[in-house]
Amino acid sequence: MTKVFPNNVYARLNTTPCSPVDGNGNGNAAILTVWKKSLLLNCSGFTVFDCKGNLVFRVDNYMAGNKGEIVLMDAAGKPLLTIRRKRLSLGDNWLVYDGESAVNPRFLVRKLMNILNTKCLAQVSSGGNSNNVNDDRSGSTGASSSSSSKNVLYQIEGSYTQRCCAVLDKKRRRVAEIQRKEAVGGVAFGVDVFRLVVQPEMDAPLAMALVLLLDQMFGSSRRLSLSH
């Protein structure tokens, strides 16, 4: 298998990333390599490196235990964000919480099924609107849908299966992108290794949380992790 990064990630947990990952609006874009593989044996998950090969984020064993819940951690294993499937929801709706909290979600992410807009994969709204989510399976554009659209913070467009999509803010600016990773040494990476580019205007943990949700909504892991 083509080597994702040469560094020994376990020996570099305390190093400083080469790009900002806190979304503070300063500096250049963070260019991260996402590997759909856990660092732990016999576990499923994701491992994320910065441009120097330093470990930045990790997700371990998210398809086991509490199904419908994903915990995004930093390099040392500290929970940054917890993603939970929204209960009693007819659509594919998820809530994003700080740390391991189960109250006051920061964001609501919902999969869109609108035949009139096939480019749009999902929308991200503020967590305060989590109790007012409507089922979008019919692709309706009624008053409730119009009201909900006013609270959208980000929209995700493109194709996750092709690893070619973008997160757009209210001004239609690309604040994060998922891209195919170039071939290295003549051997091309598959879809399990790809690039996540995060602009300074967006919080990098949130961008990675959106990757995890896209994988749940459109990736092959969805069949496993959401079975009840």
| Residue 6, pLDDT above cutoff 50 | no
Q: What is the pLDDT of residues 85-122, one digit of tens each?
A: 988 777 789 999 999 998 999 999 999 977 666 789 99
pTM, full prediction: 0.79
Q: How many whole angstroms separate alpha carbon 146 and alpha carbon 149?
A: 5
| Residue 50, pLDDT above cutoff 70 | yes
Q: What percent of the chain has a predicted confidence (pLDDT) above 90? A: 54
Nearest in space to 170 (alpha carbons), one of 125, 119, 217: 125
| Residue 68, pLDDT above cutoff 80 | no
**Cβ–Cβ < 8 Å for 73, 59:** yes
Q: What is the pLDDT of residues 125-153, one digit of tens each?
A: 998 655 554 444 334 444 444 445 668 99
Can you list the positions of beta strands (E) in the chain? Answer: 30-35, 45-49, 55-60, 69-74, 79-85, 93-98, 107-111, 120-126, 152-159, 164-168, 174-180, 193-198
**Cβ–Cβ < 8 Å for 205, 57:** yes
Please tell me which residue, 1 or 213, carries the higher pLDDT value.
213
Q: Which residues have CB under 8 Å from 64's CB, separation 6+? A: 43, 44
The class (CATH top level) of 21-223 is mainly beta
**Cβ–Cβ < 8 Å for 30, 204:** yes
